[in-house]
């Protein structure tokens, strides 16, 4: 999966949302595409392969192939790999210079993605627990401020003056660009 595919999904679902006014579903679909992207990129990096820009991070642990990596991550009892948790907790031990560090070190990205995941889980499950986490993440823990995800996403962020939907989608788009080549840029002067 490439950044182009993620950006195509963003374009498609944003156009769809503008027509249908269902920004919650659009964000849900974009987030799923982003999760697929990040999972595949993690597999590529962990097995010594490059991103689409040619970037290959140095590894502490060298997995021979995807099967070897999956066996390590799943163990004997897990039916699937929850990549977000793996990336948050294990990537720093797999890579010398963790290309996914921005996901846990950048306050804006970390906060936005925590909120998006809470929205995604509420949309997917509509459980009391999912609502509680959504209220905690997006409404400062105050149940009186709760709004359904679509209403929340179309409201304005007081800091940026954009809709929350726009801010979240921009964060996803910018993050995919950083992840495919997280090396610091240098300026010559």
pTM above 0.75, yes or no: yes
Query: What DSSP designation does 63 have?
Result: -
pLDDT digits 0-9 by tens, 1-29? 899 999 999 999 999 999 999 999 999 99
Kindly tell me if the per-residue pLDDT of 137 is higher than 60.
Answer: yes
Instruction: With residue 47 as reference, give the H or E element that holds it.
Output: none
pLDDT digits 0-9 by tens, 50-70? 999 999 999 999 999 998 998
Return the closest-CA partner of residue 124 out of 116, 135, 112, 114. 116
Return the closest-CA partner of residue 133 out of 154, 116, 150. 116
Query: What band does 78 get if pLDDT is binned at 50, 70 and 90?
Result: confident
Per-residue pLDDT, 79: 78
The number of CA neighbours under 13 Å toward the Cβ of 110 is: 11
- For residue 173, the tally of other CB atoms under 10 A from its CB is 16
Instruction: With residue 140 as reference, give the H or E element that holds it.
Output: none
Give the C-alpha separation, 185 to 118, whole Å. 33
Angle at 104 between CA 159 and CA 53, to 5 degrees: 95
Structure tokens at 71: 């066996």
């Amino acid at each position: 999966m490439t950044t182009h595919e993620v950006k195509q999904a963003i374009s498609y679902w944003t156009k769809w949302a503008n027509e249908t006014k269902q920004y919650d579903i659009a964000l849900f679909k974009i987030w799923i595409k982003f999760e697929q992207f990040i999972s595949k990129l993690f597999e590529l990096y962990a097995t010594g392969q490059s991103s689409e820009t040619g970037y290959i991070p140095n590894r502490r642990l060298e997995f021979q192939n995807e099967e070897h990596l999956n066996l390590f991550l799943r163990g004997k009892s897990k039916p699937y790999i929850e990549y977000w948790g793996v990336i948050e907790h294990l990537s720093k031990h797999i890579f010398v210079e963790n290309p996914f560090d921005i996901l846990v070190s950048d306050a804006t990205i970390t906060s936005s993605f925590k909120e998006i995941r809470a929205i995604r889980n509420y949309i997917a499950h509509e459980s009391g627990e999912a609502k509680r986490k959504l209220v905690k993440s997006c409404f400062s823990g105050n149940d009186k401020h709760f709004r359904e995800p679509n209403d929340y996403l179309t409201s304005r962020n007081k800091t940026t003056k954009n809709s929350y939907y726009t801010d979240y989608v921009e964060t996803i788009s910018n993050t995919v660009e950083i992840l495919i080549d997280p090396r610091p840029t240098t300026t010559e002067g």
